[in-house]
Structure 1
Amino acid sequence: MSSSRSGVGALAVTVLSLPFLAACGGGADGKAADTSQDPAAESSSLVVYSGRSEDLIAPLLKDLEKATGAEVEVRYGDSAELAAQLLEEGNRTKADLFFSQDAGALGALGKNGRLAELPQKSLDAVDETFRAEDGTWVGVSGRARVIAYNSDKVKNAPTSVNDLTKPTWKGKVGYAPTNASFQAFVTGMRVMRGDDATRAWLKDFKANEPQVFEKNGAVLDAVDTGKAELGLINHYYWYEKAAEAGEDKLKARLSFPAKGDPGALVNVAGVGILKNTDADATARKAVEFLLSEQAQTYFADETHEYPLAAGVSSKDELPTLDSIGTPEVDLSKLESLDVTLEMLQEAGMV
């Protein structure tokens, strides 16, 4: 399946530069009052703002429409830009559900009070690592950061991002600095190690002359052809390529960083229900569906991501999330993307 998993871009800064807009748009000109206690007032439609691309999830949202019995209207876009739009719209928004590509955008909305608390049943379906501490969003699929390597040229692949600053790998590492997943990784490192340590790593990494690519797919292609010996990507790019071309045809292989390493970050795509929705019951049904066995199997089989609920296993024989040892990071704190972008600009990476 084609992915079209785009980067955040400079407009992502808007998510945190507009916090004062979180309270705008209320009053008589705002959206109708909360009708969650009045079933008769429930809307017969569900408006979804989706940071997940149409080619990835359109079939799944068709199934969601059947599961909820409501007409689903979808607005697609970049997750950070949609989060900024939701902050600007405030109570006037027509959105009922936000389906984000990453936890950071959900964290920004939660921080600004734009998300309703989810039912405990939905929260309990997912490990607490992959949901908001305040219960305002829940992850529905996960993706692990990995180090891709060319198996012909690399016999002992690194297991830590710290290794990528060593002279051994000078000019041999590919990465996509404008991509959302790399920026989320850097934000995670900031949360784990602090800004000074992260700034130092970026400086050393940049000095090691890594190869710059626009997208993760291009990074993987470069590793597979030997143009780059190593590459920083998300795991599913390799599994997508292996499903299309055949694993035996690939020279690229994956190294999952050691437990607790910043490079072992597992980020999530997740959902939150907007406050002031007039389709609260329907939105809750939608969240339940996305955590159901049917939807979780879709993520496992079609997008090659980690299913996070319903006890679904991946056909890709992925390492378990427990064995990966993702660092203990509050994923909601990945919302501080504006600081990360400033840091990347200082380092000359974007």
Structure 2
Amino acid sequence: MNSLRAILLGTLAAGLSAGGALADGVVNIYTYRQPALIQPVLDAFTKETGINTEVLFLDKGLEERILAEGQNSPADVIMTVDIARLTSAKAKGITQPLNDETVNKNISAEYRDPDGHWFGLTKRARVIYASKDRVKDTSITYADLADPKWKGKICMRSGQHDYNLGLFGSAIAHWGPEKTEEWMKGLKDNLAHKPDGGDRPQAKSIAAGECDIAIGNTYYVGLMRTNEKEPEEKEWGNAINVLFPTFENGLTHVNISGAALAKDAPHKEDAIKLIQFLSSDEAQRIYAEKNFEYPVENGLEPSEMVKSFGELKADTLPLADIASHRKEASEMVDRVGLDDGPST
């Protein structure tokens, strides 16, 4: 174990800037988010506080990495997306509670772990991508996705993806398991084909006429419509309208990006300063604008691009409640055979 730990620490030192990993006046961040997406808000933090940041990006295995490093882990702050990953970090014991007056004041309770192990920073909505050419509806509820009106006209990525499990967990919280399962069967029957790809390919399928509506996250629309390197993605993004589906309360399911204080943070005081800053109005705006997301607080204005999608009325269901139904939602996806696609 000591040898493994030494290897991991050596690898980390190579991944972080020279001399930065264990230096004072620095916060080490482990993240699943691409560094370019978080750098603007980290630069703003350094400018305000004089505290530097070092980023280690991992596309998988972040929790396992920190567990293997143990008490010697250089990780101070974890930044990631999706309530499932945040609750997983807590469940695996790599976070510690933070009950901070500033953070609690800046972030509403529904976007915080009840025990203080994670905090939402930005939010994204799980919405409907609708063909500009073929869909005249200006509003569609989540329940409507099971309406036979849409038979053979819906595209989506795997039901087992975290983004969809979050939506299904939210449905269970609102409707209960029996109603949600019947709804999921109707959704399956309405699929144009077997679920595949990510959210952006669903917009591509709409542009190609393979389906009329799809389930996707809001921020992908901004990414597509501003993609100068791949003009075909701009075509996909401009082929769709964004519709904000709702539950019976008139509100739309949202998920979050968030942060957590690492269990053995070696620079705990500075790490808390970073989390305090990330929770501020200024940081929420910077972070959300870069990623075409929404500030986690409803009173803060999103970017002009995000405003162009339409008005978001975010569900106030606590994210912890949604996360508690994740396993149930995953089992339901398998039981219904959602990822097998339509029966006929």
Among 231, 234, 247, the residue aligned to 2:214? 231
- Please give the residue correspondences for 1:296-335 in structure 2 after superposition, counting only pairs within 5 Å: 296-309=284-297, 311-316=300-305, 317=307, 319=310, 321=312, 324-326=313-315, 328-331=317-320, 333-334=322-323
Q: Does 1:121 align with 2:102?
A: yes
How big is each residue's C-alpha offset from its partner over 1:246-282, in whole Å with a ceiling of 9 and x where there is no partner? Answer: 7998231011113556982111101110233221111
How big is each residue's C-alpha offset from its partner over 1:113-140, in whole Å with a ceiling of 9 and x where there is no partner? Answer: 5322141211211222222222322211
Q: Secondary structure at the match of 1:272?
A: strand
C-alpha contact (below 8 Å) 1:300/1:315 kept by paired residues: no
State the distance in 2 between where 1:347 and 1:91 align: 43
Could you tell me the percent identity over the aligned residues? 24
Gaps in structure 1 of 5+ consecutive residues: 1-24, 26-40
Partner of 1:203: 185
C-alpha contact (below 8 Å) 2:139/2:245 kept by paired residues: yes
Partner of 2:11: none
Q: Which letter maps to 2:104? A: L
State the distance in 2 between where 1:112 and 1:278 align: 19
Partner of 1:187: 169
- Structure 1 consecutive aligned stretches of length 4 or more whose deviation exceeds 6 Å: 245-249
Q: Which letter maps to 1:275? A: K
Partner of 1:46: 27
Q: Secondary structure at the match of 2:304?
A: coil
Cα deviation, residue 299, structure 1: 2.7
Among 148, 155, 158, the residue aligned to 2:136? 155
Among 248, 260, 282, the residue aligned to 1:272? 260
Q: Secondary structure at the match of 2:98?
A: coil
Query: What TM-score results when the alignment is normalised by the length of structure 1?
Result: 0.75
Partner of 1:343: 332
State the distance in 2 between where 1:184 and 1:249 align: 23
C-alpha contact (below 8 Å) 2:146/2:185 kept by paired residues: no
How big is each residue's C-alpha offset from its partner over 1:122-168, in whole Å with a ceiling of 9 and x where there is no partner? Answer: 12112222222223222110101111111221112552122112222
State the distance in 2 between where 1:210 and 1:270 align: 34
Q: Does 1:96 align with 2:76?
A: yes
Cα deviation, residue 102, structure 1: 1.4
Cα deviation, residue 106, structure 1: 1.8
Partner of 1:21: none
Q: Secondary structure at the match of 2:41?
A: helix
Gaps in structure 2 of 5+ consecutive residues: 6-21, 340-344
Query: What TM-score results when the alignment is normalised by the length of structure 2?
Result: 0.76
Count of equivalent residues? 308
Using the TM superposition, name which of 63-72 and 287-296 deviates more.
63-72
Partner of 2:9: none
Partner of 1:172: 153
How big is each residue's C-alpha offset from its partner over 1:282-333, in whole Å with a ceiling of 9 and x where there is no partner? Answer: 1111112223344323233221100125945432325555xx1415243364
How big is each residue's C-alpha offset from its partner over 1:8-60, in whole Å with a ceiling of 9 and x where there is no partner? Answer: xxxxxxxxxxxxxxxxx9xxxxxxxxxxxxxxx99443221212223422443
Among 79, 90, 99, the residue aligned to 1:110? 90
Q: Secondary structure at the match of 1:277?
A: coil
State the distance in 1 between where 2:323 and 2:236 align: 36
Partner of 1:258: 246
State the distance in 2 between where 1:216 and 1:121 align: 35
How big is each residue's C-alpha offset from its partner over 1:163-200, in whole Å with a ceiling of 9 and x where there is no partner? Answer: 11222211111111154312221222233333333333
Cα distance, 1:195–1:86 mapped onto 2, change above 3 Å: farther
Q: Which letter maps to 2:102? A: K
Q: Which letter maps to 2:88? A: A
